[in-house]
Amino acid sequence: MPTNNPLFWQSMAFSTAAAAIVTASVWWFYLSPLPARSAAASRPSRRLAGWLAALLGLSAVEFVAGALWDASKHILTGIVPAGADFLWPPHLLIYGSFLISLIIAIIAVAIVAGPGWRAGERDPRLWIRRNPYLGLVALASLYSLLSIPGDALWHALYGIDLTAWSPPHLIIGFMMCAVSISAVGVLVQTRPPLGRWTGVDLAIPVLLGLMLNVAGIVGFIEWEIWGGAYPILVRTNPIWVYPTVAGAIAAIVLVLARRLSRFPFAATLAALAFYGLRLAVMLGLRLTGNIVPSLPPMFILAAVLLDVLPWRRVPAGLLRDAAMAAAFTVGYAVIALPLLTVRDHLPAFSALDLVIAVLATLAACLVLLPLVRIAGTFFLGESATTPASRPASAKAA
């Protein structure tokens, strides 16, 4: 770690400032005490929610395609110059993703602020708390731009060895995921509280599947694309970290999809959306002579198990969370780990690596899935019902 390099401290300053601004803003807008009581959250129109979801889905597609193309270009050229790649095609695609998010942020700000301003309210916290998901779309879209200067400096500092887990990349990935999950919140907010599944219940897992691709770009892509030499994360971590990180992130998204959507196969649809986008980008890279990443660990069977097992027979709460964690881990390990062991571009898996990968994935799921259940209840809000009061067509996660 070249801490004596001025670029290191400049990049750390940018990344730290961006993280501090995001944290302070979220606290002030959403958690700080209000001098006056905020009104209940209003619901955007279903048409607006649909357009937001569609455009933010397009933003996620552009970001994933641009990021994988960018990684290929860096490897093929062997350079990561500070600023010299600013306007090359992959970055323009990524900037297009940011532009869509920025336009939506401006629209969201206008929708959130307009009624309050006309009513004589000048405290923006009141505007945000009446439309919390639209507010978060605006904040996350705007703050994703804060990481760009720090990212350029980290590239200048580390060059080709820039890790996917660098602070700027983590901020970008987190903000892009926050934008997508906020769009999901808007969809849930505008859906009728009860009834059979509709098109919204198809859009929710698809959007979450696209978001999983964004998370994967930062979380585990470094094990899947490189040229000639292992990058930082592969060199400095045991190989079982790869399936563990990929599995934990996938479990979060699949269980959340199942919790928020009434579609009976929401987890499976989210998984298909994830692999559909990745395969489409891989095909595009192959046809254009670029480096093609390997396919992420397969969790299709895990998604199917989450959808088809009779979870209503398991008591809700921690016991059901634990059962889901076990089911996901089994479905994931049965297919993913054997396929990973035959990939010749990965470091070899030992028997101990496989055992640790299974146990670590299970442990991560046991910790994370209760948090996902709590988050799902928060997103459902007043729509959340107990399993006994739901209609027969609805499922309880």
> What's the rounded Cα separation, in Å, for the pair 14 and 82?
15
Residue found by looking up tokens 């307009």 in the block: 114
Per-residue pLDDT tens over the stretch 139-180: 777 777 666 666 666 666 655 545 778 777 787 888 889 888
CA dihedral in degrees (46, 47, 48, 49; nearest 10)? 50
157: amino acid identity, one letter? L
Q: Which two tokens stand for residue 360?
A: 């670590």
Q: Where are the beta strands (DSSP E) in the chain?
A: none
Percent of the chain with pLDDT over 90: 39
Confidence of residue 302 (pLDDT cuts 50, 70, 90): very high
Q: Which two tokens stand for residue 380?
A: 């459902």
Provide the residue ranges of all domains of the chain, joining segments of one domain with +. Answer: 17-25+43-190, 194-397
Residue found by looking up tokens 């929610």 in the block: 49
211: amino acid identity, one letter? M
- pLDDT at site 6: 65
Confidence of residue 303 (pLDDT cuts 50, 70, 90): very high
Q: Which two tokens stand for residue 94?
A: 């990524």
Res. 4: pLDDT tops 70: no
- pLDDT at site 384: 39
Q: Which two tokens stand for residue 105?
A: 């942020």
> What's the rounded Cα separation, in Å, for the pair 159 and 152?
10
Confidence of residue 386 (pLDDT cuts 50, 70, 90): very low
Q: Which two tokens stand for residue 50?
A: 């649909």
Q: What is the mean pLDDT of the chain?
A: 82
* Most confident among 188-197, 224-233, 372-381 (mean pLDDT): 372-381
H/E run at residue 19: helix 6-26
- pLDDT at site 208: 96
Per-residue pLDDT tens over the stretch 80-135: 555 566 667 888 898 888 888 888 878 877 877 777 777 777 788 877 877 777 77
Q: How many CA atoms lie within 13 A of 139 on its CB side?
A: 28
Other beta carbons within 10 Å of 226: 19
Cα separation values, 340 from 93, 240, 297, 301, 349, Å? 31, 10, 7, 15, 8
pTM for the model stands at: 0.85
Cα separation values, 359 from 241, 349, 352, 363, Å? 11, 15, 11, 6
Mean pLDDT of 247-259: 96
Q: Are 138 and 30 in contact (CB under 8 A)?
A: no
Q: Are 275 and 295 in contact (CB under 8 A)?
A: yes
Per-residue pLDDT tens over the stretch 345-368: 888 899 999 999 999 999 999 999
- pLDDT at site 382: 43
Q: Are 146 and 21 in contact (CB under 8 A)?
A: yes
3-state SS track over 144-162: HCCHHHHHHHHHHHHHHHC
Confidence of residue 388 (pLDDT cuts 50, 70, 90): very low
Mean pLDDT of 182-199: 83
Give the DSSP letter of residue 27: I
Name the architecture of domain 194-397.
Up-down Bundle (1.20)
Q: Which residue has the higher pLDDT, 246 or 8?
A: 246
